[in-house]
Chain A
Amino acid sequence: MVVSYTIMIFWAIVVLLPLYWLLTTSLKLPIDVNMGPFYIPFIEFEPSLHAWDYILLGDLANDTIRAYKNTVIVGFTSAFLTVLLGTAAAYGLTRFSYRPKLGTILIAIGCIALAGIAIWAGVNWILAIIAAIVLFIVLMQTLGRRFKRSLGNSDIAFWLISQRMLPPVAVVLPIYVMFQTLNLLDTQAALIITYTAVNLAIVVWLMRDYFQTIPIEIEECAAIDGASRFRIFWSIVLPLSVPGLVATFLFVLVFTWNEYLLALFLSGANAQTLPLTIAAQSATRGPQWWYMSVLILIMILPVIIIAILLERYISRGLLVGSIKG
């Protein structure tokens, strides 16, 4: 018992001491930071709100507020979109059976490749796409019936979920070029779209297992009463899966809220998110610890409050089925 408490308190200190240091640093004058470690406010150093003032009201206020707004908009929009698309896909994968023919997929890939080569070789892109679609339809009409081998739901699910293995750095260059040609570089839209794609795999994975634990009988009853599939999904399945949805939403939100690498590639001054603002405080005059501490604090505060409020939800919702293998 005593041993347990000792270890638990020790680890709590390990977790909290850095945060305490963050808080005190944000209240120190630069000279108090550089003169060596001071631990206790009012006794060892006189707390000052100069950094808070500078970040929130002073010179940097506009930048901070813009970055904060970007982070909030990008985070919530993309978390919402991801959960929406991912949940729909997960529901589809647990309640419908899909049997895309292997041959169909191969022909589609072939046509897309041909169109790509044609565009690359200088053919007008509208023409190339139309030709590819025509070719695809002709091939499907002539050969389509003969295909026997098909993929099942688990194959599709595995394919979707395995996208998480993709290192972002492997796809970010073409995405960068794509947004550049679409004139979307350095906009919130670019970040929202990219984050949605990146996090989709997590949502599909978590929610698919969640849906497998929801009994199908209720939905069957509703179906017998004549409810359409969308209605069943919207007014029966979604309300039943609130814990899972909340946990998943929070996970995705935290991921997008904290994301750094993709934002570094895809955003400049306009769509800059908070992690980039923090990183920028290490500029020419060396790291500005006091400003950084303020920024880190205002950035983690909302997430930590959410986490504390929903701690039970997170562990329960996340684990209903998914991680058990």
Chain B
Amino acid sequence: MESAEIEPQGPEGLDPGLEASSSTPKRRRRRLSELPERMAGNAFLLPAILMVLFLAIFPLIVSAYLSLSRIKFVKGGFEINFVGLANYKKLLTGSEQTHFLGKFGDPSPIGWIVFWGAVAAMAWGFIRYIRGERRTVIGTMGRIIAMLIMSGALYLLIHVLGSDGRPGTIVVTWIYVFVGIAVQYSLALGLALLVTQNIPGRRFFRIVYLIPMMITPVGVAYLFRMLTNTDIGPFQPIWQAMGLGLYSWVTDPWGARVAIMIGDIWQWTPFMFIVLVAALETQSVEQVEAALVDGANKRQIFRFITFPQILPVTLTLILIRLIEAFKIVDLPNVMTNGGPGTATESMTLQAFFNWRALDLGGSAAIAYMLLFVVTFIGIAYVNLVRGRVTEA
């Protein structure tokens, strides 16, 4: 039976009723006779597509409209007034600026050095690209936009982290994401290298290390609120000995942020760990053995054999965590309720607070800023990584 060929020859259109029919009558008849087979492809894919359309794409469009309006609750309903970009303006330059971007301070000299160094590096890379053979219009445009956004982000960063500056929710979210991922990856790699050694008892450790990932973030948040309590927590004697007995993490901005990051790291290191363990176990042994015969030491083996082999996994892993980490909300909400002040608020939490205060437009605007940031960083990361991998 011809129709039963598995070769990808199935439906040619997404929509069964509407696909372009072929020109010759003969072929048309044949295709009609195999209609159920043709429909099969759509039956597999369409439910997922519809699900995403109705619960992601349409809400996203509505959300975009909400972010451009002011919603007033009146008797028996609400009324929506279109206000253009006012909600965004409020976040970036208006009354919410110190909350969202942060309070601008004077950057330290090191800050300026970092800023101009980065700008110079980007400019140099750009000039090299323009002079090169492979430049395209889209590539050039993309690079210009990326450079502008990155310079802006750095400018913001050095100002809010400078003296008497104060980071807003967007910067706090970056700190959670980037510091968290860096620490998680280093810890996870170290642990993965340890438990893939051929030593007894490694399976036990492997299972134990997996546990934190399974605990609900709300639970982790309360757990760490208990643990970091300097008065009744288990480390009380240590705090006492260090003279910090009455010190409270949650009233110090950086203390609270660090406490949240510790909770996040405790929870998500296992995810990186398990993936890296699997990656390390599937690497080929021959090369390592050959290197051992040639007298390479452990560090050289890791640097030149193991690491290149787990590099693709590493890059994907970081991308996954990057995407997920930007959604952080449970820990700051439960551990510190965003406080002290707004010091530990993440962007999602700020959007939630705005929603609770019935400022739906503002909430949607923050959500869109978050979407924008995640998309930009995701795309930039993928492009950067792709360039490096092909060069190497």
One digit per residue, 1 when the CB lies within 8 angstroms of any chain A CB and 0 when it does not, for chain B 225-248 equals 111000111111100000000000
B41 touches which one: A96, A223, A254 (CB < 8 A)?
A96
Per the bound structure, the CA–CA distance linking A163 and B49 in Å amounts to: 11
B149 near A: Cβ within 8 Å? no
B1 x A21 contact (CB < 8 A): no
B266 touches which one: A18, A105, A230, A260 (CB < 8 A)?
A18
One digit per residue, 1 when the CB lies within 8 angstroms of any chain B CB and 0 when it does not, for chain A 202-228 equals 001000000000001001100110111
A315 x B12 contact (CB < 8 A): no
A264 x B352 contact (CB < 8 A): yes
One digit per residue, 1 when the CB lies within 8 angstroms of any chain B CB and 0 when it does not, for chain A 239-272 equals 0000000000000001001101100110000000
A35: chain B residues at CB < 8 Å are 232
B94 near A: Cβ within 8 Å? no
A22 near B: Cβ within 8 Å? yes
Which B residues are within 8 Å of any A CB, using their own CB? 1, 4-6, 8-15, 18, 20, 36-37, 40-41, 43-45, 47-49, 51-52, 54-56, 58-60, 62-63, 66, 187, 190-191, 194-195, 197, 199, 203, 205-219, 222-227, 231-237, 266, 274-275, 277-279, 282, 312-313, 315-317, 320, 323, 326-327, 329-330, 333-334, 347-348, 351-352, 355, 360, 363-364, 366-368, 370-371, 374-375, 378
B14 touches which one: A91, A98, A196, A314 (CB < 8 A)?
A98
Which A residues are within 8 Å of any B CB, using their own CB? 1, 4-5, 7-8, 11-12, 14-19, 21-22, 25, 33-37, 39, 85-86, 88-89, 91-93, 95-101, 104-105, 108, 137, 140, 144-145, 147, 156, 160, 163-175, 177-178, 193-194, 196-198, 200, 204, 216, 219-220, 223-224, 226-230, 232-233, 254, 257-258, 260-261, 264-265, 274-275, 278-279, 282, 287, 289, 292, 296, 299-300, 303-304, 307-308, 311, 314-316, 318-319, 323-325
A12 x B197 contact (CB < 8 A): no
- Knowing A140-B18, A223-B6, A315-B274, say if A92 contacts B41 (CB, 8 Å): yes
Question: CB-nearest residue of chain B relative to A279?
Answer: B218
Per the bound structure, the CA–CA distance linking A196 and B54 in Å amounts to: 12
Per the bound structure, the CA–CA distance linking A88 and B219 in Å amounts to: 34
Question: CB-nearest residue of chain A relative to B310?
Answer: A324
A229 touches which one: B20, B40, B187, B226 (CB < 8 A)?
B40
- Knowing A88-B45, A96-B10, say if A228 contacts B37 (CB, 8 Å): yes
B199 touches which one: A1, A156, A296, A323 (CB < 8 A)?
A1
B214 x A303 contact (CB < 8 A): yes
A101: chain B residues at CB < 8 Å are 13, 20
A168 x B11 contact (CB < 8 A): no
A228 x B330 contact (CB < 8 A): no
A289 x B18 contact (CB < 8 A): no
Question: CB-nearest residue of chain B relative to A253?
Answer: B214
- Knowing A91-B44, A95-B6, say if A170 contacts B233 (CB, 8 Å): no
B9 touches which one: A37, A92, A97, A169 (CB < 8 A)?
A97
Per the bound structure, the CA–CA distance linking A8 and B316 in Å amounts to: 26
Closest chain B CB from A102 CB (angstroms): 11
Per the bound structure, the CA–CA distance linking A145 and B215 in Å amounts to: 54
Question: CB-nearest residue of chain B relative to A314?
Answer: B274
A303: chain B residues at CB < 8 Å are 214-215
Question: CB-nearest residue of chain B relative to A164?
Answer: B323
Closest chain B CB from A97 CB (angstroms): 4
B47 x A88 contact (CB < 8 A): yes
